[in-house]
């Protein structure tokens, strides 16, 4: 499928650089078939039915961007996938400096050795410590890996803002941003409505921000991300569906993990491992009925996913409407609630 079919123009001033305050005061565009409604995230409980189940991704963003030096020169790395207790795959700038065997100094007594060099600026680093000690060093010396379209350095506010209130599993280097809109008050209102919740974990990698450089989707390579869906969560989800409830994924990351864990029989099964699922129009959805998600980049794999879910022309029209109405885009921006369309128009 041609990548240019997923292109659109977005005014720069619609890219959010800070989140709404409070979080649940963000706007929400409801898309159901051909109809659209301009609402707010606070309206979500009234848009769901008792018996529906929300699926949250509880991954926690780590300070995965590190600035170091090799000899007299500087280098910046962004970790994107843990491959061992003390080893991570990363993207580096400038990548030419990362030759196997070279040591990067991030701070006094905190270093990593380049274990392998990949393509397109990728490398594997082996740190001088692992596990809890490595996480502590990242907290001390790392930076929050804000997306590249937020044209400012990270600061103390981002340590809280770029994290869901229910994050608990260390490992993401990008936030599951649909979940950033939830507050304790909104969760309480959903519970009072009779909407249940299930937690899954997908450690979002920096590959989610990589541009699609090819002209055809068949030629694009997705980066793998590690996820877990427990037996308890699978049973809760299957029970909700059997009782007539809808599975509502909070974010494309939760959706991608659910679809990876579900077969053509529509039974959701426990899952633990890597997924590199790439969803484009024509994909048959087996697990998810509705999707809450922010507004995504043109020509991105995530805009392709929502186009597959709700219909390509419907999403082009919905995004044109969002732009005309001044919705805020991307990670810190506004949200949408989409219904799955069997008709892929």
Question: Per-residue pLDDT tens for 215-258?
Answer: 888 888 888 899 999 999 999 999 999 999 999 999 999 999 99
- CATH number of the domain bearing residue 87: 2.40.10.240
Same domain, 228 and 121: no
Which CB contacts under 8 angstroms, 24+ apart, belong to 90-99?
A: 90/122, 90/123, 90/124, 90/125, 91/121, 91/122, 91/206, 92/121, 92/122, 92/123, 93/121, 95/121, 95/122, 95/123, 97/70, 97/73, 98/70, 98/123
Burial 259-270 (b: 16+ CB within 10 A, else e): bbbbeeeeebee
Do 50 and 167 sit in the same domain of this protein?
Answer: yes
Helical (H) or strand (E) element with 146: none
> Same domain, yes or no, for 93 and 241?
no
pLDDT in tens, 106-150: 999 999 999 999 887 899 999 999 999 999 999 999 999 999 899
Closest CA to 138 of 61, 204, 69: 61
Domain final residue pick, 108, 143, 178? 143
Q: Which region among 62-71, 118-127, 137-146, 269-278 has the lowest average model confidence (pLDDT)?
A: 118-127
- Are 145 and 173 in contact by the 8 Å Cβ rule? The answer is yes
Mean pLDDT of 145-162: 94
- Contact (CB, 8 A) for 207 and 221: no
Per the structure block, which two tokens stand in for 53? Answer: 């189940």
For 163-206, the pLDDT digits (tens) are 999 999 999 999 999 999 999 999 999 999 999 999 999 999 86
pLDDT at 207 over 80: no
- Determine which helix (DSSP H) or strand (DSSP E) holds 297, and give its type and residue range: none
- Structural element, H or E, at residue 124: strand 122-127
Residue 26 pLDDT: 98
Torsion of CA 59, 144, 89, 74, to 10 degrees: -170
**Residue 117 falls inside a structural domain:** yes
Tell whether 74 and 138 lie within a shared domain: yes
Q: How many domains does the chain have?
A: 2
Q: Is the model's pLDDT at 10 over the cut of 70?
A: yes
Tens digit of each residue's pLDDT (9 = 90 or more) over 95-118: 888 999 999 999 999 999 999 998
At 329, phi and psi to the nearest 5? -105, 160
Give the pLDDT of residue 210: 66
The answer to whether residues 231 and 89 belong to one domain is no
Q: What is the 3-state secondary structure (H, E, C) of 39-57?
A: EEHHHHHHHCCCCCEEEEE
> Residues 289, 249: contact at Cβ < 8 Å?
no
Q: What is the CATH number of the domain that holds 201?
A: 3.40.1780.10
Q: Provide the residue range defining the domain that includes 232.
A: 3-61+162-339
192 and 296 housed in the same domain: yes
Amino acid 241: pLDDT: 97
pLDDT in tens, 287-312: 999 999 999 999 999 999 999 999 99
pLDDT band at 72 (very low <50, low <70, confident <90, very high): confident
Nearest alpha carbon to residue 138 among 164, 112, 102:
112
Whose CA is closest to 1, among 226, 251, 219? 219
Q: Is the same domain home to 134 and 236?
A: no
pLDDT tens, position by position, 15-56: 999 999 999 999 999 999 889 999 999 999 999 999 999 999
pLDDT higher than 90, residue 278 = yes
Residue of 314, 304, 237, 308 whose CA lies nearest to 271: 237
Can you say whether residue 62 is alpha, beta or left, with left for phi > 0 and alpha for psi between -120 and 50 degrees?
A: beta
- Res 333 pLDDT > 90: yes
- Assigned token pair, 261: 């864990």
So what's the pLDDT on residue 344?
60
Which pLDDT does position 120 carry in this prediction?
78
Distances (CA, A) of 124 to 101, 104, 112, 140: 11, 12, 10, 21
Report the distance separating Cα 127 and Cα 64, nearest Å.
13
DSSP state of 273: E
Same domain, yes or no, for 46 and 116? no
Q: Mean pLDDT across the stretch 142-163?
A: 95
pLDDT of residue 338: 98
Q: Which residue has the tokens 């249940």?
A: 196
Averaged pLDDT of the chain: 95
Name the domain boundary from 85, 112, 143. Answer: 143
- The pLDDT, as a whole number, for residue 218 is 85
Confidence (pTM): 0.94
Q: Are residues 330 and 260 in the same domain?
A: yes
Name the phi and psi angles at 313, rounded to 5.
-70, -35
pLDDT band at residue 345 using 50, 70 and 90 as cut-offs: low
Sheet containing 335-339: which strands, arranged edge to edge?
35-40, 27-32, 335-339, 290-294, 247-250, 53-57, 196-202, 225-229, 271-275
Confidence band, pLDDT 50/70/90 cuts, at residue 212? confident
Rounded CA gap, 149 and 160, in Å?
19
């Amino acid at each position: 499928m041609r990548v240019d079919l997923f292109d659109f123009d977005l005014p720069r001033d619609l890219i959010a650089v800070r989140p709404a305050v409070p979080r649940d005061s963000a706007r929400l565009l409801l898309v159901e078939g051909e109809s659209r409604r301009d609402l707010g995230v606070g309206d979500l409980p009234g848009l769901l039915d008792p018996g529906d189940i929300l699926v949250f991704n509880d991954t926690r963003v780590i300070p995965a961007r590190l600035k170091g030096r090799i000899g007299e020169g500087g280098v910046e790395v962004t970790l994107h996938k843990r491959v061992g207790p003390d080893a991570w795959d990363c993207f580096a700038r400038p990548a030419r400096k990362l030759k196997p065997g070279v040591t990067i100094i991030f701070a006094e007594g905190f270093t990593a050795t380049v274990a392998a060099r990949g393509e397109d600026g990728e490398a594997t680093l082996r740190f001088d410590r692992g596990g809890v000690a490595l996480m502590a060093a990242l907290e001390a010396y790392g930076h929050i890996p804000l997306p590249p379209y937020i044209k400012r350095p990270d600061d103390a506010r981002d340590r809280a803002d770029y994290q869901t209130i229910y994050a608990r599993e260390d490992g993401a280097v990008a936030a599951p941003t649909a979940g950033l809109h939830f507050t304790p008050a909104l969760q309480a209102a959903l519970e009072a409505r009779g909407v249940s919740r299930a937690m899954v974990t997908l450690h979002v990698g920096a590959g989610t921000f990589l541009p699609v450089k090819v002209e055809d989707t068949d030629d694009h390579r997705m980066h793998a991300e590690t996820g877990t869906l427990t037996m308890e969560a699978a049973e809760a989800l299957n029970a909700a569906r059997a009782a007539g409830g809808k599975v509502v994924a909070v974010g494309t990351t939760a959706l991608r993990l659910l679809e990876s864990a579900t077969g053509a029989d529509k039974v959701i099964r426990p899952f633990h491992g890597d997924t590199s699922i790439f969803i484009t129009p024509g994909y048959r959805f087996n697990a998810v009925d509705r999707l809450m998600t922010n507004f995504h980049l043109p020509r991105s794999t995530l805009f392709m996913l929502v186009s597959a879910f709700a219909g390509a022309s419907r999403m082009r029209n919905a995004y044109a409407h969002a732009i005309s109405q001044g919705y805020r885009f991307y990670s810190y921006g506004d949200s949408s609630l989409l219904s799955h369309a069997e008709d892929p128009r």
